[in-house]
Structure 1
Amino acid sequence: MADITPQTVTGELVTLRDYWRYAISRFNAAELGFGHGTTTAGDDAAFLLLDSLDLPIDTLDPFLDARLLPHERQLLAERIDLRVTSRKPSSYITNHAYIQGVRFFVDERVIVPRSHIGEILFSEYLGEHGSSFLPDPFSVESAVDICTGSGCLAVLAAKFFPHATVDATDLSSDALDVARINVNDHEVAEQVSLFEGDLFAPLAGRTYDLIITNPPYVDHEAMAGFPAEHRAEPAMAHDGGADGLDLVRRILDDAGSYLNPQGGMLCEIGSGREILEEEYPHLDFFWVETAQSQDAVFWITAEALGVA
């Protein structure tokens, strides 16, 4: 396997099925890490191949036996080899990541987006009976995304809250450059404003109907054990301090000053529920269940945060 080059591969492999099988074998042999929207070698290989060919990433079967053109074979062989040799997440290789089927541009300047909050917004607002706890989407006039990264949640907020102005902040100017690409690509530039700064710092005097935030929340022990794929991402996008909750605490302590009455905050925190509930026993957290977790995201109202 180590002696096989992209050039020799393209002479032997013809169909998408050939490249999928080959990629799975290479990924397993290299013991790659996953967790950027995929959890297995098969799923990661499918994403890399389909997205590289601009095919729907969740529809592999109809294309498996399609014969590929020479330039397509070359592209796939090179990207399979790059995935193995660089151990970069596949999203960095294709420059795309998806939240509930919505495509976003990404590169090494931002973490690969995989927030539970995207799933929550889709399930709450596209569900049969509407949201059980979030405000009516047409009543939201202002929203903010703290630690926006690639800007994906700010873009989704603009789509789900059509009457809202949406602000988004990040400490990284590089991340905001990527966010600007996504804001423009999704044609929400008139609705979304980007601010560089530390959490709420650039927003003095502003208040919102809704705060959305997916801050860094990985603890130092977990970061020390990261596979190469996770180490390829910006460390500051993961680093939540010794127990992972440094930024979550700061956001929680300040959020009330930036919320309108009847508003609230949706915050992703990873695995820190017990710590947070012990430190803030007076706060009424509503923990939101997702496909992957029952307590990685909480909703808290402005009233619970002391907003009169």
Structure 2
Amino acid sequence: MTIKITSATFSACVVGKDGIPADNLPVIALVGRSNVGKSSLINCITGRRELARTSSLPGKTLTINYYCINEEFYLVDLPGYGYAKASKVTKQRIQNMMNEFFAESKNLKGVIQVLDVRHKPSPLDAQMQGWIRDQKLNSLAVLTKSDKLSHQQVLKMREAIAKDLKIGFSMVFSAKTAIGKEDFLDAIEKVLAGLEIKGVEGKGRKPQSQPRQNAERSRRGGAPAGGRPDQSGDRGRRPSGRPERGPAPGKPADKPGEKQSDKQTDKPADKPKVQPSTSPETPGQAPEPRPGQSRRRRWKNRKKQPET
């Protein structure tokens, strides 16, 4: 059963070791590059638009933010890495904060790596995935901003990202359309239960097109959705319920073994051809009519009588 979020509160903003919640609630960490959509993901699954502060400019989250969900576990938003315009001091401070977090979080249940589906993984993404794999942490790759691409482009990028990061499973998500929200909550439930995240995707997938469903049903021998059973194999054959067409009225039926050449056909006798007249034409008289010639044309073509 999918977990249902009934409460979500901002609990702590941590810079170093100080300020980490002292309770023993399970922790699930969100990691990813700057401006990849971690804050928007939190707002989407909790139903709170302003719970996590979002910004169109990368590198705004420079602290570790704890969000208590249902008073049962923490979702922790870690600072985004890989912001090129950040100073060396800022980059080093972010690296130190992340190292301290993973060292001090004794009740860490899993890590969710958030990636932008529009871009291939960076070397830092591959390095983070390799570190998660070395630590043998339960992890999940979530591909955000899927609404920016077509369905076919998402499938293509999903395959490329899985190949680059050497992962067997990833989840498509969109904070704008809430695609993948139910799948993400299913994954959270598995992480809290200590189960490996595999094959939880299903509710957020785009349905197959109607022609594809009809083709699959035809291969299985069933009827297409919203149509009649496929009768392509019965083409050319008369349905058994319809009687065969008999001979025309007044025409005797064919005898068995009788050939078409043996039949006597009653064809009308050929009309005798009319021979053209060879008699000399009388002056002043219209000539004999020719086929296709009007009377007026014949009268104009008559031989005039010589004058005396």
Q: Identify whether the pair has TM-score above 0.5, normalized to the shorter chain.
A: no
TM-score (norm 2): 0.28
Larger radius of gyration: 2
